[in-house]
A and B are shown apart, each in its own frame.
Chain A
Amino acid sequence: MITAENLRKRYGSKTAVDGISFQLAPGKVTGFLGPNGSGKSTTMRMAVGLDKPTSGSVTIGGKSFPQHAAPLRTVGAVLDAGATHPGRTGRGHLQVLAATHKISKKRVDEVIELTGLGAASRKRIKSYSLGMNQRLGIAAALLGDPAVLIFDEPVNGLDPEGVRWVRSLARDMAAEGRTVFVSSHLMSEMSQTADHLIVLGQGRIIADAPIGQLLDSGEQRVLVRTEKPADLRRALGAEGVSIEQTDAETLEVTGLDARSIGRRALETQVVLHELTPQRSTLEDEYMKLTGEHVEYRSGGQEDRS
């Protein structure tokens, strides 16, 4: 439903999006993951025609967004909380948008109900909390009952209940066959919602795969506890195997699977207390993928490797 081809955006000398291509399928939640400044918002703004690509294209259902006859029914976008006039009421904001597509008052009431804005919808937007602003943004996105939803960091500012609600909303929308595109800089957020992940680092795609596959592709580590770590180390040492000793009797082995380690331990007559394959967490994968791509690295990150 959303197709990007060699999409590139430069602001002056800064390349925000560096020639990316991807295709989003309906019926799935596609997570758009990347550290701050990696170009997620820029990509989403280009998808709805707010920013013009420097080169390449992004289309929705084969047409650029402005070419659609009913944009609000095609794409619902929450790009940033606060793309509203603070002097208007929430309901006023929704009605102004609804009028452009002759969307009924009844639908305005429905989305107010659905997003839990309730009585606040009659208050001026300037009195809204960040969470209420997010809810209003989502209400506006749902107004046209669109086939595509684009949410840029939708859980920012929401309370835990709101976060859960957004997650299940995204899942429900995808289950209805819509294309759902949700960005976040937090891996943990994506792992709860997304079926498919596109990982972005410094404007380039560094992974584009179903979430399960991203997990499996991770390097296998095996945790080994033994009475004689030094002996075992010697026995396992080989090309492509790396061993890290984390305490007096614990080793973390990468490059060998648990079976081979067990066999080798028997051969060397070393007693094992534990032999556990470690499934790498998505978080680890994310750190690994974006490790070389973060623009601003915080001090403590080096020792994670």
Chain B
Amino acid sequence: MTINTASATAGHRPFEVDPSLPGISFGGVMRSELSKLKALRTTWWLSLIAIGLGTFIAGSVAVSYRSFGGNGDELALAEQGTAGAYFAMILLGSLGAIAMTTEYSTGAIRSSLTAVPRRTTLLIAKAFALTLWSAGVTLVMMLLGHLAVVLFSGELSLTAPFQDTEILSMYAATGLVVVLTTLMGFGLGVFLRSSAGAIVVLTLILFVVQMVLAIMYGVTEGAEWVEALLQIEYMALLDSFVSADAGAYGMVEPLEPWQGLLGILIWVAVPNILGWLSFSRRDA
């Protein structure tokens, strides 16, 4: 065994980092987060399925509209054509959750945090990257969906959104809701740190809560508190924000569109704030 006694000769000039070299920048971190997203196969699968399903559903709606002889209500037709957005919400919401939870399940979070130890910066950059990505996917999905409706229904004109502001704002609201739901999934992922957990909770919020409340509404013979819950659960809020004939098939009066949007923002903010609090405090 050789013994190292170099300490006696140690005492070189300390190494200096050139201060002019770039440090962390928000743009850099966001680019890094975007390339992480793009490098995940799951990202491409979920996004392609969302686009494919959205377009297919729009086409199917248009075909059945035509075969049943439509009533010429362009707005209603366009809105039915966006039904695929519900699937996009669960798909992209899951992507939002996975974007965070895979960092934990793989341990990559430790590399990420040694490059970007300011946790709030990392979190916001990730949320931005997800927003950009999901907005892009939603845009493509809705463009193709619109095209499909135009082609197969023979009713809606290609330029309808630009002639009818109601159609345009319905499209915009739908797209916005998909992006916000992606961010809700992200918040759930950050808070729960588990893909399965986050996706289950997201599914409950999107597909189960309304059903359960509806059953309770029947059982309690229309109790007021159930009625209130039915108004502020996520899907009812979506309906009141997006839909022109909101509440037409519902059991309770919908809220105003602005109230709907406010409610959605709160639903999205809660898991994100909880996630941020836990992420910025807990050990990685």
Interface residues of A (CB under 8 A from B): 1, 25-28, 45, 48-52, 65-66, 68-75, 77, 79-80, 82-88, 92-93, 95-97, 99-102, 140, 145-147, 171, 174-179, 188, 191-196, 210-212, 215, 281-282
Contacts and interface: CB of A to CB of B under 8 A. Distances in A.
Interface of B: 1-8, 10-17, 21-25, 28-29, 31-32, 35-36, 39-41, 102-103, 106-111, 113-119, 281, 283-284
24 contacts: A27-B11, A27-B12, A48-B113, A51-B283, A52-B283, A69-B23, A70-B22, A73-B21, A73-B23, A83-B108, A83-B109, A84-B108, A99-B28, A100-B116, A102-B28, A147-B15, A171-B6, A174-B10, A188-B1, A191-B2, A195-B5, A212-B3, A215-B3, A282-B1
A66 B118 contact: yes
Contacts of B41: 87
A71 to B, nearest CB: 5
A163 B119 CA distance: 34
B178 to A, nearest CB: 25
A95 B39 CA distance: 11
Given A70-B23, A82-B107, A50 B281 contact: no
A140 B111 contact: yes
Nearest to A73: B17
Contact of A100 (B1, B24, B108): B24
A70 B24 contact: yes
A66 B117 contact: yes
A75 B113 CA distance: 12
Given A80-B110, A85-B106, A87-B41, A178 B15 contact: yes
Contacts of B15: 26, 147, 176-178
Contacts of B116: 71, 100
Contacts of A73: 17, 21, 23
Given A71-B23, A84-B107, 13 more contacts: A1-B14, A66-B119, A79-B110, A80-B107, A83-B111, A85-B40, A85-B108, A93-B111, A100-B32, A101-B24, A176-B12, A195-B7, A281-B1
A73 B11 CA distance: 22
Contacts of A192: 1-2, 4
